[in-house]
C-alpha cells in the first residue's frame, strides 16, 4: 500500500529543480517513443526544440505563439494560488473574442485605435462574465467550479460557431463560415524592425505581456488582495479567522482569470486573423494550465514557461513538415510534461512510503 505523508518542510531547491527535471525527463521519454515509432530521435528532437530558433522570423513566431499562453496563464495564477480551479479559460478566451469582435464589426469604417482599446475592455468583461457563472454557482450553491467552467467551454464553442455561421456571417465569404474583416481600427499591427522590416508575425499585442505580467506580480506579492489569495490557497481555515471573505476572494480571482483570458482572445484574433471564425483558439486555454505549473505559479516564471511550450508547438509543426511526424506529437509532449510536473508537485509536498496492509 502506498502512503502519502505531508512533508514538514518543502525544499526551496526542489521548487526550482522540479520543472527543469520534468522537461529533461520529457525529452528522454520522448526520445524513446520516437525511436519506438521508427523516427530518428536526434533529428526529431532537433526539429522540435532547436529549429524554432534557427531563424529570426521563427524566433518572433515563438513569442507570438507564447503571447496568449502567457496572458491566460497570468490570469490562472490568481485562481490556482487560491485553490480555485478554473479549467474553463478556453471558453473565456472565446467569449471575450466573440463579444469584442461583434462590437468591432458594428463600426466597419472606423480606423482609430480607440476602437481596439474599447474591444480589449469588452473582451475583459466578456471573459470575466463567463467566469462569473462558475464563480456564483460555487459561492452560492457550492457547485464544483471545475465541472462548470469546463462544460462552459463547449457552450462557448457552440455559441461562436452558431454566431459566425448565422447572424455575423459575411454574405461574400463564398460559403465559408467567416465574418466580415475587422475595420482598421480593430486590428493590431505587426512590429516593423528598422532596417529589417517585419519579422514573421510579431505584433504589438506581444508587448502587453510586459504590462500584464508585472501588474500581476505586484498584485500577488505587494497587495492585501495577493496576501488574501495566498492565505486562502495555503490555509483556508485561517481565511475566516483573519477576517477575509472567502467567497469574495473566489469571485475576484475567477473574474480576473476570465478577464485576462478574454483579453488574450481579443489580441489573438485582432493580430493574427482579422475576423471571427468558428475556431479562433487552438487549445490555448487548456495548454495555459501546463504553462502555469511549469512556471511554478510565478508571473515571471510563466514567461519562460510560455516560451518553452510555444517552442514545442511550433517545433512539432516543423517536425511534421520536415520528417512527417504526426501532429499529435504536440499533445504527446504536453501530456508527458504535465505528468512529470504533477509528479514533481506531489513529491515536493509529500513523502511516499510503502506499507503492508494491516501494518
The structural domains of the chain, ordered by start, are 57-317 (1.10.3470)
Q: Give the list of residues 6+ apart from residue 13 with CB closer than 8 angstroms, or none.
A: none
Q: Write 22-26 long-range contacts (CB < 8 A, 24+).
A: 22/294, 22/337, 22/340, 22/341, 22/343, 22/344, 23/294, 23/308, 23/337, 25/340, 26/333, 26/336, 26/337, 26/340
In the structure grid, which three cell numbers stand for residue 31, read together? 526520445
Q: What are the grid coordinates assigned to 35, written together?
A: 525511436
Give yes or no for a contact between 219 and 225, defined as CB atoms under 8 angstroms apart. yes
For 73-130, write each residue's pLDDT tens digit: 999 999 999 999 999 999 999 999 999 999 999 999 898 999 999 999 999 999 999 9
Residues 224 and 134: their CA atoms lie apart, in Å, by 24
Q: What share of the chain is helix, strand, coil (3-state, %, to 5)?
A: 70, 5, 25
Three cell numbers, residue 256: 480576473
Quick one: pLDDT at residue 17? 80
Give the pLDDT confidence of 256-314 residue by residue, as tens digits. 999 999 999 999 999 999 999 999 988 899 999 999 988 889 999 999 999 999 998 89
Rounded Cα distance between 118 and 100, Å, is 8
Q: What is the pLDDT of residue 64?
A: 94
- Specify whether the CB–CB gap between 288 and 72 falls below 8 A: yes
Amino acid at each position: 500500500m502506498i502512503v502519502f505523508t505531508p512533508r514538514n518542510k518543502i525544499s526551496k531547491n526542489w521548487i526550482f529543480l522540479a520543472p527543469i527535471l520534468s522537461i529533461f525527463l520529457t525529452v528522454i521519454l520522448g526520445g524513446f517513443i520516437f525511436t519506438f515509432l521508427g523516427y530518428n530521435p536526434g533529428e526529431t528532437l532537433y526539429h522540435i526544440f532547436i529549429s524554432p530558433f534557427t531563424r529570426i522570423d521563427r524566433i518572433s513566431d515563438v513569442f507570438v505563439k507564447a503571447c496568449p499562453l502567457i496572458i491566460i496563464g497570468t490570469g490562472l495564477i490568481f485562481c490556482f494560488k487560491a485553490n480555485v480551479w478554473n479549467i474553463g479559460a478556453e471558453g473565456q478566451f472565446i467569449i471575450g473574442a466573440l463579444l469584442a469582435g461583434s462590437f468591432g464589426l458594428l463600426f466597419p469604417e472606423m480606423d482609430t485605435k480607440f476602437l481596439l482599446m474599447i474591444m480589449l475592455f469588452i473582451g475583459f468583461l466578456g471573459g470575466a462574465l463567463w467566469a462569473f457563472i462558475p464563480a456564483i454557482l460555487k459561492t452560492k450553491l457550492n457547485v464544483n467550479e471545475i465541472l462548470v467552467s469546463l462544460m462552459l467551454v463547449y457552450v462557448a464553442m457552440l455559441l461562436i460557431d452558431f454566431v459566425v455561421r448565422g447572424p455575423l456571417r459575411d454574405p461574400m465569404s463564398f460559403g465559408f463560415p467567416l465574418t466580415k474583416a475587422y475595420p482598421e481600427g480593430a486590428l493590431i499591427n505587426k512590429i516593423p524592425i528598422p532596417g529589417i522590416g517585419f519579422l514573421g508575425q510579431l505584433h504589438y499585442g506581444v508587448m502587453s505581456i510586459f504590462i500584464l505580467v508585472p501588474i500581476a506580480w505586484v498584485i500577488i506579492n505587494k497587495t492585501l488582495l495577493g496576501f488574501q489569495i495566498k492565505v486562502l490557497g495555503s490555509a483556508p481555515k485561517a481565511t475566516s479567522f483573519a477576517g477575509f471573505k472567502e467567497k469574495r476572494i473566489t469571485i475576484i480571482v475567477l473574474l480576473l482569470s476570465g478577464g485576462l483570458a478574454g483579453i488574450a482572445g481579443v489580441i489573438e484574433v485582432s493580430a493574427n486573423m482579422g475576423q471571427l471564425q468558428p475556431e479562433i483558439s487552438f487549445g490555448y486555454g487548456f495548454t495555459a494550465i501546463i504553462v502555469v505549473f511549469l512556471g511554478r505559479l510565478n508571473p515571471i516564471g510563466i514567461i519562460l514557461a510560455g516560451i518553452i511550450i510555444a517552442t514545442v508547438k511550433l517545433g512539432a509543426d516543423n517536425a511534421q513538415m520536415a520528417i512527417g511526424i504526426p501532429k499529435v506529437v504536440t499533445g504527446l509532449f504536453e501530456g508527458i510534461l504535465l505528468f512529470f510536473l504533477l509528479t514533481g508537485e506531489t513529491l515536493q509536498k509529500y513523502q511516499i512510503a510503502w506499507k503492508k496492509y494491516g501494518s
